[in-house]
Amino acid sequence: MALLFLALVLQVESAVPSDPSAVSISPTGTSALAPTRLTAAADSLRNIAIDERLAADALLRIGDLVVLSATPGGDGDTVRVAAITRGAADPAEVARADHRIRLHLDQLQTLAGYGDRVDRFAIATGEGAATDTALRTINDAAFGFRAHRSTDIAVESSRTFAVVDRFHRAIGIITIVASATFLLCILLLKVDERRRDVAALRLIGISRRTVVRAVVIEAALVAALGSVLGIGIGWAASAIVNWHYRGVYRTPLAFALVTPQVIVIAVSLSLALGVAAGWLAARRLVRAQPLALFGR
Amino acid sequence: MTAMRAAERFDVAERILAARGLSRDYRLGAETVHAVRDVSLEIDAGEYVAIVGPSGCGKSTLLHLLGAIDRPDQGTLDMLGREIARLPEREATAFRLRNVGFVFQRFYLVPTLTARENIELPMAEAGLARDERAARAHELLSYVGLAGRERHRPSQLSGGEQQRVAIARALANRPSLLLADEPTGELDARTGAEVVALFDRLNADGTTLVIVTHDEELARAARRVLHMRDGSVVSDVRRAVRP
Amino acid sequence: MRFVLAAASLQRQGTRTLLAVLGVAISAALLLDMVMLSTGMRESFRSLLSRQGFDLRIAPRGTLPFDTDATIADASAIARTLKEHPEVDAVSPVFGASVHIARDDATIAATALGVDPAVQGDYELLEGTSLPDTMSLVASDAFLVATGARLGDTLRIAAGYDPQLRTWLGRRALVISGRARFIYLPAEQRAIALRLPVLQTMAGAPGTDRVNLFMVRLAPDADADAVQRWIEARSPRVTAVPTAVAIEQVDARLSYFRQLAYILGAVSLIVGFLLVTTLVTVSVNERVGEIAVMRAIGVSRVHIVQQIILEGLAISLAGTAIGLLLGLGTARWLNGILATFPGLPEPIDFFLFQPRAAWTALGMLVLIGIAAGIYPAWRSASLPIAATLREEAVG
């Protein structure tokens, strides 16, 4: 789920203020939708990579020339689209209809008037203790900016999803409680419907235990069949959800996943609830005297 | 007992009911059962008629036809000057409400209502005011010997008491005709005799009775006995006086 | 008598009735929560954006306010242009930056907003005075707690740090003149506000005559869309967003919650319907003999159906009433979870109780309870009397 409220709030505090200017991109040529074709003179042009959303929205292809500028409609650099990229399936970006380009660092620094500055460095270290050493060394040596583990950043930036996760769990709990109640209610009704059959069995000498066992087995079978059906419906629903939201947000992100773990939990819960509801309903029925069940 | 004298408004010889060529078939699985075959009869005001015969001879079906609970496949049925055999359902229901009282073998009281409420049920349906209903229900309960049992639910009454409540319910709207289907079928001999005595009293007070029964006592109490077999009336015996 | 019969029938099977009421209550609660969720965010945002009376927000072109770090250059010129429009009552510029306060051995970072105190709409003053001069600042409670400062204290605040020279940039001594609640920021955010030119100067070149946002208040009955078009025609480097459009855009981003709400809401209605119809069906199936006798003694079909429907209605009404309370409780719980979204402005609620929407939804559930009883009731009341009595005698 996206960081949806950045529409209205400032970014959280950062150690060094970043102020990249927005860059704007426009096709070359007189028509906004008619990029210039590659010519011999364009060999000296620098290359950029654009994301597929931008390529689709601006009808750009590899080889097209565009002008990059720091202000809308302002002067800028003519560059060539050398690649079209697909962004990683980053949940944090999914609701933002951003367009992204990649260009050489020095070119962007010049274009944005940033000078010899960057927002951050990403550092790959060796295994194990090398990361700790690097962290300590950098933080001791260079105060004014801080080094963070990527995992720590991930935890921080995942707080949104932790909240969504909790929300989904809460909805899940409510759904389970609701399902349990509905199941118990309906099983009770359906078992009650067969009170005369149960009464007849009891009158001919079938024990309470046998009757309860029969009802519980039946409930378990129904729950098992229902689970199989439910898995199918859940799988189909998740496919529809993914298809729908991938289209809406134009992302390869998976929004709903039916994993083996999810199946195990769902089936276990369903069986447990079904058996419990069947047992409760049967117990209630066999407690009554058989003749009372006949309505006498 | 003025409440019971429903038949007072008729001349003694007035015809309550005239059936001509009644027939009724119904399907039982793949078989067609000719439950009633070409039955014709008349019943006058104040009569006490018992319909007897072996099981499955069509007694109950005939009773249902006479009470407009069921529709004949053939024949006509005139009650109180009105052809009722093929009335639309809504009209048949309204007709039954005001003109026919039913008593069933299994009592069929509403288990969640008290004795008084069960008796009031048809009166409420007929639109009587609450006070009027309550007064009449009280009167009827006294008549059947159950004064003081008003607030009892059916589960708190014996079989005989339940049947008496059912009889009181059947009399609630002062019907011209009281039909009873095996009214002593679920009762022991002693209780059954009490109900027979009650029917005697009702008839003496002017109520027209048609009763389907296996009960010999009840059949003996009637002044007219129709014997049925295989859906037909094979004999119609009238007795001048009660034995 | 029909009410008496219906009540008696429900009491007869007390456990079953209670469970059905509970089931309907859960359906009602879930439905209510989903209605609150589907409309809550939108209305909450509308309330937030309309709170200070600003009708338009102007951001760098192609962005939403504070959605990126982009800023609007030549802010003064743009502000003058905006004020030229006869329907513009007030223009509130906002510049945002990160600032740093050295306290003991630690450096505390905070969010700073540069505003014009005469027209600002970013904070509500709780105590003190609102930026009486260029040397003052207004702070949030979280900032005061983090820095250990109080009203009247002087803090040295820097807008940046040069790591090579190891010096603070744009450092100033500012006096805390007021305590405020920052409307668009989370309660836990350390935030201050100071006069716009002060923060722009402190930020150096990146802040020179730049703002992140203008908030514009229009005259009553002004056409916000027309003013928007006028602004964008005169200032091509900005995007003007009327409140209604901002809400729609946020709504589009939050469509997941709305769609979830619709789906779960629909499921609640369906389940509520199934529950009542199952209960009524089983209940009348048990009473076919009783129903046939009632018809035999002259009770009309319509009255029998009415009585049975009354039972379904009673369950629906009782369940809905309980569900209302249950739903408000669970909404509070769920809202509490979602309120922990990082960066969420304090006044935003996901679950908002709006009487009209709530009553409509719950009313639908009650109607569904009635509808659920109609078919089984009609069916049982239409069974042939004689055949039914015959079967009941055999049974």
Query: Locate tokens 């029998």: which residue?
Result: C304
The per-residue pLDDT of chain C, averaged, comes to: 87
Average pLDDT over residues C113-134: 92
Using the Cβ of A234 and the Cβ atoms of chain C, whether some distance falls under 8 Å is answered with: no
Please name the member of B26, B90, B124 whose beta carbon is closest to the beta carbon of C1. B124
* Digit-coded pLDDT (tens) for A45-76: 899 999 888 998 999 999 999 998 887 677 88
Using the Cβ of A15 and the Cβ atoms of chain C, whether some distance falls under 8 Å is answered with: yes
Using a CB-CB cut-off of 8 Å, the residues of chain B touching C296 are 67, 69, 96, 102, 104
> Does C362 score more than 90 pLDDT?
no
- What stretches of chain A adopt beta strand conformation (E)? 24-27, 46-51, 65-69, 76-85, 101-102
pLDDT band at C103 (very low <50, low <70, confident <90, very high): confident
Classify the complex by whether its ipTM is higher than 0.85, answering yes or no. Answer: no
Residue B53 lies in a domain: yes
Residue B65 lies in a domain: yes
Helix (H, G, I), strand (E, B) or coil at B68: coil
Distances (CA, A) of B155 to A296, B162, C144: 9, 9, 75
Query: Chain centroid to CA A86: how far?
Result: 17
d(CA A295, CA C286) in angstroms, rounded, equals 10
d(CA C242, CA C238) in angstroms, rounded, equals 13
Residue A5 has what pLDDT? 25
pLDDT band at B77 (very low <50, low <70, confident <90, very high): very high
What stretch of H or E contains A245? helix A208-249
CA atoms within 13 A on the CB side of A247: 6
d(CA B232, CA B36) in angstroms, rounded, equals 6
DSSP code of residue A12: P
Model confidence, pTM: 0.74
Q: Chains meeting A at 3+ CB pairs closer than 8 A?
A: C
d(CA B18, CA B7) in angstroms, rounded, equals 17
What stretch of H or E contains B233? strand B232-238
* Digit-coded pLDDT (tens) for C219-234: 998 898 899 999 988 8
Residue B73 lies in a domain: yes
DSSP code of residue B8: G
Using the Cβ of A17 and the Cβ atoms of chain C, whether some distance falls under 8 Å is answered with: yes
CA atoms within 13 A on the CB side of B6: 23
Residue C130 has what pLDDT? 92
Residue B137 has what pLDDT? 95
Write out the residue range of the structural domain in which residue B216 sits. 2-110+174-238
Helix (H, G, I), strand (E, B) or coil at C99: strand
- Which positions 46-65 of C are in contact with A (Cβ < 8 Å)? 48, 60-65
**Nearest in space to C224 (alpha carbons), one of C42, C87, C338:** C87
Distances (CA, A) of B57 to B37, B51, B216, C74, C315: 10, 10, 17, 107, 46
Residue B42 lies in a domain: yes
Pairing of strands C154-158, C172-182: antiparallel
Average pLDDT over residues C187-204: 91
Please name the member of C61, C282, C341 whose beta carbon is closest to the beta carbon of A193. C282
In this structure, what are the phi and psi dihedrals at residue A149, rounded to the nearest 5 degrees? -70, 145
Total of domains in chain B:
1
Query: Chain centroid to CA A83: how far?
Result: 27
Q: In this structure, are residues B123 and B133 in contact, taking their beta carbons and an 8 Å threshold?
A: yes
Distances (CA, A) of B63 to A257, B46, C25: 67, 17, 48
pLDDT band at C283 (very low <50, low <70, confident <90, very high): confident
Helix (H, G, I), strand (E, B) or coil at B209: strand
Cβ–Cβ gap C384/B112 under 8 Å: no
Q: In this structure, are residues A99 and A92 in contact, taking their beta carbons and an 8 Å threshold?
A: no
**Nearest in space to C316 (alpha carbons), one of C17, C78, C37, C64:** C17
Average pLDDT over residues C195-204: 91
CATH value at residue B51: 3.40.50.300
Q: Where are the alpha helices (DSSP H) in A124-207?
A: 129-141, 150-157, 159-193, 195-203
Average pLDDT over residues B61-65: 93
Q: Where are the alpha helices (DSSP H) in chain C?
A: 2-12, 14-50, 75-84, 141-147, 196-202, 224-234, 243-253, 255-286, 288-296, 301-338, 355-381, 385-394
Please name the member of C4, C11, C293 whose beta carbon is closest to the beta carbon of B104. C293
* Cα angle A69-A72-A78, degrees, rounded to a multiple of 5: 30
Query: Chain centroid to CA C118: how far?
Result: 30
**Nearest in space to B60 (alpha carbons), one of B16, B4, B96, B103:** B103
Q: Chains meeting B at 3+ CB pairs closer than 8 A?
A: C
Query: Locate tokens 């010096």: which residue?
Result: C167
Q: Which two tokens stand for residue B8?
A: 């007072």
> Does B1 score more than 80 pLDDT?
no
> Does C379 score more than 50 pLDDT?
yes
Residue C141 has what pLDDT? 94
Average pLDDT over residues C1-19: 83
pLDDT band at C324 (very low <50, low <70, confident <90, very high): very high
First and final CA of chain B: distance in angstroms?
A: 24
Please name the member of B60, B70, B93 whose beta carbon is closest to the beta carbon of C298. B93
Average pLDDT over residues C64-74: 80
Average pLDDT over residues C48-72: 83
In this structure, what are the phi and psi dihedrals at residue A255, rounded to the nearest 5 degrees? -90, -30
Q: In this structure, are residues B75 and B187 in contact, taking their beta carbons and an 8 Å threshold?
A: no
Residue B196 lies in a domain: yes
Q: In this structure, are residues B21 and B75 in contact, taking their beta carbons and an 8 Å threshold?
A: yes
Average pLDDT over residues C226-243: 89
**Digits of tens for pLDDT over chain A (296 positions)?**
222 222 222 122 222 223 333 345 554 433 333 333 434 444 678 999 998 889 989 999 999 999 988 876 778 889 999 999 887 767 666 666 778 899 999 998 988 887 888 888 888 888 778 888 888 888 777 656 678 888 888 877 777 788 888 888 888 888 888 888 888 887 887 887 788 788 777 777 778 888 899 889 988 998 899 999 999 999 998 999 899 888 877 888 888 889 999 899 889 988 998 898 889 888 888 887 766 666 54
Residue A10 has what pLDDT? 19
pLDDT band at C142 (very low <50, low <70, confident <90, very high): very high
Q: Which residue of A1, A4, A6, A10 is the best one to mutate when testing the C interface, meaning the one whose CB has the most C CBs within 10 A?
A: A10
